[in-house]
Structure 1
Amino acid sequence: MAGWDIISELPESLLTHVLSYLPTKDSVKTSLLSKRWESVWRRVPGLDLKYNDFPEEFPPHEQSLESFVNKFLESNKESRMQTFKIQFEYEQCDDDQLVVWIDKAVDRGVQHLYVETEKAPNITQSIYTSSTLVSLTLLSVGLESPKNVVSLPCLKMMHIEDVWYDYDDPLIMERIISGCPALEDLSVIRPVDCYNADVVKFLRVRSQTLKRFRLMFENCWGGTEFSVEIDAPSLEYMSFRDDQSDVIVVKNLTSLYMIDIDSEFNVKFGGSPLEQEDSSKKDTIHNFFEGISGVRDMIISRPTLEVLYQYSKMGSIPKFVNLYRLYHAFSCSTLQLLPIFLESCPNLKHLILDYTVVSLQPEEIELSYVPRCLTSSLERVNINKLIMKEESGIKLVNYFLENSAVLKELTVSYTDSPVSNQERDIYKNLLTSNKLSRRCQVSIC
């Protein structure tokens, strides 16, 4: 107990600051340490509660989430609040009570607000005019249209997931984003079951300050009703996972450094491939990739590569002249499409490939076309998750060794391993016997 005695002598402001980094249920437990600690947790400038914290984690006189939160907010109502984080189930509090809590948190200058429910109560209007909010996370709640001009001057991070909106305000997200002049990090995850709820069909993201943006919109019985527009000249990172939007517009992405893209551009909805006469879809695909063509680091999915292959039969893929690193999780079928895409990456230096088994049957691959980057710029190749001695894997490794003129390093990793070091050396000699670049170092993991 000597250690606790020393800690107990610290100023209360320091103790409450330390406790603010703990979930509230753990902060409450410190009340059992001594008389000094009995009520320190009540003056912590933050609340962090989950629905499964009740009732066993708290003293007998606090048996419900609702009563506990009310007592906590009353106990230090004069102090500023740094964090208000609450996750609750349907029966633990009603919509009106949640509105009261958020209003109180905003009034007390909350900086980090996190609300997650298992229903969709409407969030209070006060969140639209907070002068102190730095981060806002809303999961499975309802957002009413702002009744006044949105003003969130300090908000830097916003995460919106499975949120329902007013049906009669298609530009609600645009209005919210426009009221965040310091916004740097935005995540929008649209509801999975979007046809049983009110969702924003037109998502427009316009921001001069946004640096990181993540969009996820998939697993919905989509069609042609959804569209997205991104206009963000300061954007550096984007994760784009949208299989439902029929219209996709990107503008002014002049700072974009890295993109993680997994989208079929609504091409395969209903099983129909991209057709020659589908000029609007062709333009959407071309304009999207033209808009991100300055990117330097890319992760591209199998479905996206398949769509690009269909598009390449009707038009040329935009050039990615700045792209130096590319990651792709391939199957044997998409591997045959990869050289076509690599032709659009004339200065690529680092290629990372992860093998994904999509069929139990062996697949034949033929790799004959050699894109320009193999002969002029590609210096590093990592091929992961191959199966030892599988013919397609050997073909793939030899393809790069035999055709990469300036390759410095090729690393291969397998899901299985050689039985002995001797087998490993024999296998390595087999792979490197015909390498074009004599300075290339081959490593087998």
Structure 2
Amino acid sequence: MASVIEGEDDRDRISELPISVLLHILEFMNTKDAVQTCVLSKPWKDLCKRLTTLAFNSTHFRSDIKPNFENFVSWLMLSRHSFVSLLNLDVFLLCLSEVKLLDLVMEYAVLHNVQHLTIDLILETNDFSNRLISYFEFHSLASACLSLKFLRLSGSYLDPTLKLPKTLQLPALETLHLDFICFTSTDNDCAEPFSNCNSLNTLVLNSCSLHGDARVLCIYNSNLSRLNLDFTWEEDAYKIVLSTPNLSSVVAISFNYHQLSSLCNLSFLEEVNIDAGCLRFTPYSIIISWLQVFFNVKKLTISSLSVDIIIR
């Protein structure tokens, strides 16, 4: 009897689970580790080709063997079943030599109906990298991705020269989170990247800047409800103009010399949180001008430092 129990204990119970359950388990794993499960047994052999969540992180590969990461990404994109949608994609690139993969990865994501996309480019800074990163503008993503609902794009705080196209064409996008990104102007000195994102509900801008002759960031979007602005690492001040009639929530941090105005009365504004951060040199007039824009708000929270600047 003991031998029967022993035999049952030796069974590979995990591999006997339904394919849908095994895939669900793999979705929580690092993609590199998920691919390596193909050697466990026959049921695991091709599971990685049906993953709907992929994470390409160059730091998970030995830095002294550069082709490893590129070969892994290329192999997986070629091997995945073409009928399987790509719901979630995370890309983390550390080295300049890996940037050339990004066009291929984004083209693949667009073709496979990606819905949730996160891209982090933490690259070394030198003259060559500046030229290359500035040139890269995410054109394929901005003009062709009809399925994307969430986008987080992060550049480097050491050199925020990663540019968005002049206008984003992402009709299904609901949440956009940008860190250390440059905006380019249209026909005049205004950058207006968000007006064609008709489903956009939440916009988060962290230390973003204007490129070239742009002097004004126009946040025009009739659907936008939540807006978070953080200028902690931003040195250059520029004007911000709102045309967001359905805006309900605003968080503004360390806005120092940035001027704000609105083309609508923000009648649906429910909550505003203003925090001057650690920048004690923020002018009194700037804080007052921001408060005047939000005069319709129902709930206003102001940091103690902001109050000190107002009353000093």
Q: Same fold (TM over 0.5)?
A: yes
1:159 deviation in Å?
Answer: 0.7
> What pairs up with 1:342-357 in 2 under 5 angstroms?
346-347=266-267, 348-354=269-275, 356-357=277-278
Query: SS at the partner of 1:239?
Result: strand
Query: SS at the partner of 1:172?
Result: helix
Is structure 2 residue 244 aligned with structure 1 residue 320?
A: yes
In the alignment, which residue of structure 2 is the partner of 1:383?
302
Is structure 2 residue 90 aligned with structure 1 residue 159?
A: yes
Query: SS at the partner of 1:298?
Result: strand
Aligned 8 A contact 1:171 1:202 in 2: no
1:345 deviation in Å?
Answer: 5.5
Structure 2 counterpart of 1:219, one-letter code:
Y
**Following the alignment from structure 1 to structure 2, what is the Cα–Cα distance between the partners of residues 79 and 329?**
48
Match for residue 264 of structure 1 among 175, 197, 208: 208
In the alignment, which residue of structure 1 is the partner of 2:15?
43
**Following the alignment from structure 1 to structure 2, what is the Cα–Cα distance between the partners of residues 354 and 372?**
15
Identical counterparts, % of pairs? 10
1:35 deviation in Å?
Answer: 5.8
1:210 deviation in Å?
Answer: 0.8
> What pairs up with 1:129-144 in 2 under 5 angstroms?
129-130=78-79, 132=81
Shift in alpha-carbon separation, 1:368–1:78, aligned structure 2, 3 A: closer
Is structure 2 residue 104 aligned with structure 1 residue 172?
A: yes
Query: SS at the partner of 1:177?
Result: helix
1:368 deviation in Å?
Answer: 5.3
Structure 2 counterpart of 1:203, one-letter code:
F
Task: Name the TM-score, length of structure 2 as normaliser.
Answer: 0.66
Shift in alpha-carbon separation, 1:112–1:80, aligned structure 2, 3 A: farther
Aligned 8 A contact 1:238 1:260 in 2: yes
Aligned 8 A contact 1:343 1:371 in 2: no
In the alignment, which residue of structure 2 is the partner of 1:213?
151
Query: SS at the partner of 1:187?
Result: strand
Is structure 2 residue 224 aligned with structure 1 residue 295?
A: yes
Aligned 8 A contact 2:117 2:151 in 1: yes
In the alignment, which residue of structure 1 is the partner of 2:238?
310
Aligned 8 A contact 1:260 1:300 in 2: yes
Aligned 8 A contact 1:264 1:303 in 2: no
Query: SS at the partner of 1:254?
Result: coil
Shift in alpha-carbon separation, 1:383–1:241, aligned structure 2, 3 A: same
Is structure 2 residue 177 aligned with structure 1 residue 239?
A: yes
**Following the alignment from structure 2 to structure 1, what is the Cα–Cα distance between the partners of residues 225 and 294?**
15
Task: Name the TM-score, length of structure 1 as normaliser.
Answer: 0.49
In the alignment, which residue of structure 2 is the partner of 1:30?
none
In the alignment, which residue of structure 2 is the partner of 1:191?
122
**Following the alignment from structure 1 to structure 2, what is the Cα–Cα distance between the partners of residues 126 and 110?**
14
In the alignment, which residue of structure 2 is the partner of 1:123?
71
**Following the alignment from structure 1 to structure 2, what is the Cα–Cα distance between the partners of residues 213 and 37?**
45
Shift in alpha-carbon separation, 1:128–1:81, aligned structure 2, 3 A: closer
Structure 2 counterpart of 1:264, one-letter code:
C
1:128 deviation in Å?
Answer: 2.4
**Following the alignment from structure 2 to structure 1, what is the Cα–Cα distance between the partners of residues 88 and 284?**
45
Shift in alpha-carbon separation, 1:40–1:211, aligned structure 2, 3 A: same
Aligned 8 A contact 1:81 1:111 in 2: no
Structure 2 counterpart of 1:211, one-letter code:
K
Coordinate RMSD, CA, aligned: 4.4
Shift in alpha-carbon separation, 1:330–1:175, aligned structure 2, 3 A: closer
**Following the alignment from structure 2 to structure 1, what is the Cα–Cα distance between the partners of residues 51 and 179?**
32
Structure 1 counterpart of 2:201, one-letter code:
Y
In the alignment, which residue of structure 2 is the partner of 1:77?
42
1:259 deviation in Å?
Answer: 0.5
Shift in alpha-carbon separation, 1:221–1:298, aligned structure 2, 3 A: closer
Aligned 8 A contact 1:343 1:373 in 2: no
Match for residue 203 of structure 1 among 119, 130, 138: 138
**Following the alignment from structure 1 to structure 2, what is the Cα–Cα distance between the partners of residues 303 and 364?**
15
Structure 2 counterpart of 1:349, one-letter code:
E
**Following the alignment from structure 1 to structure 2, what is the Cα–Cα distance between the partners of residues 318 and 240?**
17
Q: Give structure 2 stretches of 5+ with no counterpart.
A: 17-21, 186-190
**Following the alignment from structure 1 to structure 2, what is the Cα–Cα distance between the partners of residues 194 and 41?**
50
Shift in alpha-carbon separation, 1:118–1:393, aligned structure 2, 3 A: farther
**Structure with higher RCO (Cα < 8 A, 6+ apart):** 2
**Following the alignment from structure 1 to structure 2, what is the Cα–Cα distance between the partners of residues 311 and 302?**
13
Shift in alpha-carbon separation, 1:345–1:186, aligned structure 2, 3 A: farther
Aligned 8 A contact 1:246 1:265 in 2: no
**Following the alignment from structure 2 to structure 1, what is the Cα–Cα distance between the partners of residues 276 and 163?**
32
Aligned 8 A contact 2:164 2:182 in 1: no
